[in-house]
């Protein structure tokens, strides 16, 4: 399954035979609210199941960072409750820049489920296309997915530091956080020494649709990525960096590593260095 699906193709799939319809996950989330569950109740793609970032797509915050990977058993339970079946397609959408949907895409891939895509343009594109919406909560039949972690490469702090030195480590945060000008959430400001700033907002256009593979490939080439070079990504808490991994796959660079703990994990340890300023350091 390709990483992206259009609203037209999703509508056609949802109109097909019941046994072939994808599970649709509504993963709308905002750091400053309102809660995504409220938006879901106001309207969603018919049949979509709401999956909360904090409760389903991440574990409890703590030593592992603000959005650590969930416990595999808990993830399996929640995905089965959402109706996810082995070998059956899943589509995730949000209503912003696609980064939370990319987290769902990455997490399912990490869990060993390859049949997953992000809705291009998200909920805004769905409604703009005149497709139907529903306020009825979904009641899916339980799924049977077995979570098998390891389907996507995960970096720890030492591996991220080594990649910044010997390959290309992309920092997906906005530039003021990368430079250390501001840090509104995590313990310290700055970035991992050697990391290159690649704000996740550059992956989509003003309408929230993903840029073409050619445009993304050019973007990563401009950031210094060479063919065959090892590459990975991090952000504040491992969510928006998932969109970097997806964008790299679209651009022809599959298998990028994700530092799941990201800056929220790195900055907890005062012994880890922090670079500031516009240069990688």
Numbers of helices and strands, H then E, in the chain:
10, 10
**Looking at domain 154-267, does it have CATH number 3.20.20.10?**
no
Please identify which residue in the block is written with the tokens 């290159």: 196
State the catalytic residues.
235
pLDDT by position in tens, the chain (length 281) = 999 999 999 999 999 998 899 999 999 998 777 899 999 999 999 999 999 999 999 999 999 999 999 999 999 999 999 999 999 999 999 998 899 999 999 999 999 999 999 999 999 999 999 999 999 999 999 999 999 999 999 999 999 999 999 999 999 999 999 999 999 999 999 999 999 999 999 999 988 999 999 999 999 999 999 999 999 999 999 999 999 999 999 999 999 999 999 999 999 999 999 999 999 99
- Enter the tokens of residue 29: 């989330």
**Element (H or E) spanning 58, and its range?**
none
* pTM (two decimals): 0.97
Q: Same CATH topology for 4-129 and 154-267?
A: yes
User: Hey, where are the domains in the chain?
Assistant: 4-129, 154-267
Max CA distance (Å), the chain = 56
Question: Which strands, in side-by-side order, build the sheet including 116-119?
Answer: 4-5, 116-119, 90-93, 23-26, 49-50
Region of residue 62 (phi > 0: left; psi between -120 and 50: alpha; otherwise: beta): left
Residues 235, 243: contact at Cβ < 8 Å?
no
Give the pLDDT confidence of 80-94 residue by residue, as tens digits.
Answer: 999 999 999 999 999
Domain 4-129: which topology?
Answer: Oxidized Rhodanese; domain 1 (3.40.250)
């Amino acid at each position: 399954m390709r990483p992206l699906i259009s609203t037209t193709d999703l509508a056609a799939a949802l109109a097909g035979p019941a046994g072939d319809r994808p599970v649709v996950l509504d993963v709308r989330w905002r750091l400053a609210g309102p809660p995504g569950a409220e938006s879901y109740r106001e309207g969603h793609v018919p049949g979509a199941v709401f999956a909360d970032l904090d409760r389903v797509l991440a574990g409890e915050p703590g030593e592992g960072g603000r959005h650590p990977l969930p416990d595999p058993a808990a993830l399996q339970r929640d995905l089965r409750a959402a109706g996810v079946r082995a070998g059956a397609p899943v589509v995730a959408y949000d209503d912003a820049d696609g980064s939370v949907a990319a987290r769902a895409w990455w997490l399912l891939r990490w869990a060993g489920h390859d049949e997953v895509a992000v809705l291009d343009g998200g909920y805004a594109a769905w409604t703009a296309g005149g497709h139907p919406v529903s306020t009825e909560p979904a009641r899916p039949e339980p799924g049977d997915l077995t979570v098998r972690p390891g389907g996507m490469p995960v970096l720890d702090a030492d591996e991220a530091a080594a990649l910044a030195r010997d390959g290309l480590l992309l920092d997906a945060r906005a530039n003021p956080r990368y430079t250390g000008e501001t840090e509104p959430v995590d313990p310290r400001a700055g970035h991992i020494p050697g990391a290159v700033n690649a704000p996740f907002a550059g992956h989509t256009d003003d309408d929230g649709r993903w840029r073409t593979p050619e445009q993304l490939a050019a973007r990563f080439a401009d950031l210094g990525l060479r063919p065959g070079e090892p590459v990975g990504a991090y952000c504040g808490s491992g969510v928006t960096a998932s969109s970097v991994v997806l964008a790299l796959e679209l651009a022809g660079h599959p298998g990028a590593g994700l530092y799941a703990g990201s800056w929220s994990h790195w900055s907890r340890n005062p012994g880890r260095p922090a670079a500031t300023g516009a240069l990688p350091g």
